């Protein structure tokens, strides 16, 4: 599980849900501030350890590791750590993402563009590549889930790099599904709408300010656009992941599944 250190994040919710279903989980996050990835926006090792402790507190099995998904050597080491701790690797959730670098396209610098593409898309490629090698060697299939977004299917104002990376993630999902199906590995994407995580809060503050609204006014307007009448919860995405990891989803691959209360229907 990548990018799972932050409290209230999708990663934490997915970890807790999959652990409750019996999965042993290597909880990872970048665990160091880097360029365009400041400490107050990224998961620290302490936060990763807290997620591990919460899983253990519920009777689950988990271990912690630092992983910058853009670093191939670290990805290889993380796959090795999962195998060492738990005897194999059957599920990968590519959850690490940067969605707080918001600005108009004509002001976006190349290094900020590359940070977003690097984490959201290249990171998922590297983790899928090395996890799939391990799964193929094990010979018992596997599951890869890419946490995309409704921004994987529609444009998103002042989030061009984010939307491009998430659209790309669907291309990666569909191509990997074609290549890995023969090994019994399914590859699917989950397209969630807004969830008020720490990342989501930054987006709310930016958009509310842009529109001259309070955050409550902005969220009320968002709710009116969602047929089911509320924004997403981290648990909604976690439930979708549990389904995609279960036998119930054994014949589903290459899908980009909306979990958006009806906001996105394509």
Ligand X SMILES: NC(=O)c1ccc[n+]([C@@H]2O[C@H](COP(=O)([O-])OP(=O)(O)OC[C@H]3O[C@@H](n4cnc5c(N)ncnc54)[C@H](O)[C@@H]3O)[C@@H](O)[C@H]2O)c1
Using CA atoms, how far residue 130 sits from 80, 137, 199, in Å, is 10, 11, 27
Catalytic residue among 84, 166, 206, 239: 166
CB of 70 to ligand X, least distance (A): 5
Catalytic residue among 34, 84, 153, 162: 162
Burial of 247 (0-12, 13-18, 19+ CB in 10 A): exposed
Is 239 one of the annotated active-site residues of the chain?
no
Using CA atoms, how far residue 167 sits from 65, 91, 137, 156, 160, in Å, is 28, 22, 30, 11, 10
Closest chain position to ligand X (CB): 97
In sequence order, the β-bridge partners of residue 92 are 144
Instruction: For residues 261 and 156, give the distance between their C-alpha atoms in angstroms, rounded to a whole number.
Output: 18
Using the 8-state DSSP alphabet, how is residue 36 labeled? T
- 42 vs 134 by CB, closer to ligand X: 42
Backbone dihedral angles phi then psi of residue 238, each to the nearest 5 degrees: -60, -40
Is 206 one of the annotated active-site residues of the chain?
no
- Sheet of 185-192: strand order equals 91-94, 142-147, 185-192, 256-259
- 141 vs 243 by CB, closer to ligand X: 243
In the complex, the residues that contact ligand X under the rule CB under 6 A are 2-3, 5-6, 9-11, 29-30, 37, 42-43, 67-70, 95-99, 119, 123, 147, 149, 192, 194-195, 197-200
- 186 vs 197 by CB, closer to ligand X: 197
CB of 37 to ligand X, least distance (A): 5
- 235 vs 254 by CB, closer to ligand X: 235
- 181 vs 255 by CB, closer to ligand X: 255
Angle CA(78)–CA(259)–CA(247) in degrees, nearest 5? 60
**Hey, which residues are catalytic here?**
162, 166
């Amino acid at each position: 599980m990548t990018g799972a250190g932050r409290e209230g994040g999708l990663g934490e919710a997915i970890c807790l849900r999959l652990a409750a279903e019996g999965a042993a989980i290597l909880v990872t996050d970048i665990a160091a501030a880097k360029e365009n990835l400041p400490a107050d926006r990224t998961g620290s090792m302490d936060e990763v350890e807290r997620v591990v402790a919460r899983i253990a507190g519920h009777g689950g099995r988990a271990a912690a590791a630092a992983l910058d998904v853009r670093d191939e050597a670290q990805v290889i080491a993380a796959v090795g750590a999962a195998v060492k701790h738990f005897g194999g690797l059957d599920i990968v959730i590519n959850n690490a993402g940067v969605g707080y670098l918001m600005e108009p396209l004509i002001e976006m610098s190349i290094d900020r563009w590359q940070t977003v593409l690097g984490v959201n898309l290249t990171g998922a490629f590297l983790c899928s590549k090395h996890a799939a090698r391990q799964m193929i060697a094990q010979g018992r299939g596997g599951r890869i889930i890419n946490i995309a977004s409704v921004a994987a299917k529609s444009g998103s104002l002042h989030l061009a790099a984010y939307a491009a990376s998430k659209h790309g993630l669907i291309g990666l999902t569909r191509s990997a599904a074609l290549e890995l199906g023969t090994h019994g590995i399914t590859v699917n994407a989950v397209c969630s709408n807004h969830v008020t995580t720490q990342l989501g809060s930054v987006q709310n503050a930016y958009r509310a300010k842009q529109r001259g609204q309070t955050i409550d006014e902005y969220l009320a307007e968002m709710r009116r656009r969602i047929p089911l009448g509320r924004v997403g919860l981290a648990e909604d995405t976690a439930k979708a992941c549990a389904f995609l990891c279960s036998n119930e989803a054994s014949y589903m691959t290459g899908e980009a599944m909306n979990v958006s209360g009806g906001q996105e229907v394509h």
